[in-house]
Amino acid sequence: MQATKVLALIPARGGSKSIPRKNIRSFAGHPLIAYSIAAGLAAEMVTRVIVSTDDDEIAQVSRQYGAQVPFMRPAEFARDETPDLPVFRHALEWLAEHDGYTPQIVVHLRPTSPLRRAWHIDQAVYRLIEQPQADAVRTVCVPFQNPFKMWQIGADGLMRPLMQTSFKEPYNMPRQALPEVYWQTGYVDAVWADTILTKMSMTGDRILPLVIDPGEWIDIDSPDDWRHAESLLESGKVTLQDLGFDPATYKR
């Protein structure tokens, strides 16, 4: 396991819309992106941490907190609608061509999950190494709402169950009687580099779960999310010890 090259890649473009400049905005005393960088650096299984960005200021801040920024992401891969796959393919192809570096495993760390536990990164990598027939590992949690109880509203104004199943009126059944379902959190994804480069996918077909507690996951997508997540850290409900790292340790 120690010989496995594991790249933690943090995508952080400059044009965020919901919270402008969020990746370098101060979050409980440090830029938001510093928490994902520190988590990657603290994880025992990660051997290199890189930020992929199109923004000079994000690149500078990322380097200050210990990440490498060996290239600037081309504008064509930094649009609002750009999916993850071309961003990760660009990074892997650039590193192979210009740096002679080819990791076996890539860990996707989104800056919008600052309260990520460092050992969850290690657990995701461990799972993938222990079961190499899988293509990827994704963190999931039990959702707050069960999709068997969800609805769509048709053009005629009438509601129809979202899930078409063999159950009669699943929306009227007790939650305990329904199948277990899981929500993908985007908190940690670990994937073989070959899955990205050969299968042209961020997950492939065989995806292992890493189930985490819903209370351990928060994704910042709005100002309300930001205030809630920051208050957890500032109030001591979540501590840096809980996370397994301190961004200040890595600041240069």
* CA distance readout (Å), 135 to 49, 128, 202: 21, 8, 9
- CATH number for the domain spanning 221: value is 3.90.550.10
Same-domain pairing of 17 and 117: yes
Whether residue 90 contacts residue 77, with contact meaning beta carbons closer than 8 Å, is answered with: yes
Same-domain pairing of 172 and 188: no
Whether residue 69 contacts residue 76, with contact meaning beta carbons closer than 8 Å, is answered with: no
Same-domain pairing of 82 and 170: no
Task: Give the pLDDT confidence score for residue 2 in this predicted structure.
Answer: 56
Is residue 153 in some structural domain?
A: yes
Task: Give the pLDDT confidence score for residue 1 in this predicted structure.
Answer: 53
Domain count across the chain = 2
Residue 28 neighbours by CB distance under 10 Å: 18
Please give the model's pTM, rounded to 2 decimal places: 0.92
Task: Give the pLDDT confidence score for residue 56 in this predicted structure.
Answer: 97
Is residue 176 in some structural domain?
A: yes
Residue 120 sits in which domain range?
A: 6-141+182-250
Q: What percent of the chain is helix, strand and coil (3-state, nearest 5)?
A: 35, 20, 45
Is residue 1 in some structural domain?
A: no
Is residue 223 in some structural domain?
A: yes
Same-domain pairing of 161 and 75: no
pLDDT in tens, the chain (252 residues): 558 999 999 999 988 777 889 999 999 999 999 999 999 999 999 999 999 999 999 999 999 999 999 999 999 999 888 999 999 999 999 999 999 999 999 999 999 999 999 999 999 999 999 999 999 999 999 988 888 888 999 999 999 888 877 777 777 777 787 888 899 999 999 999 999 999 999 999 999 999 999 888 889 999 999 999 999 999 999 999 999 999 999 999
Is residue 114 in some structural domain?
A: yes
Is residue 246 in some structural domain?
A: yes
Same-domain pairing of 53 and 79: yes
Whether residue 185 contacts residue 140, with contact meaning beta carbons closer than 8 Å, is answered with: yes
Instruction: Please state at what angle helix 56-64 crosses helix 32-42, rounded to 10 degrees.
Output: 40
Same-domain pairing of 44 and 107: yes
Is residue 175 in some structural domain?
A: yes
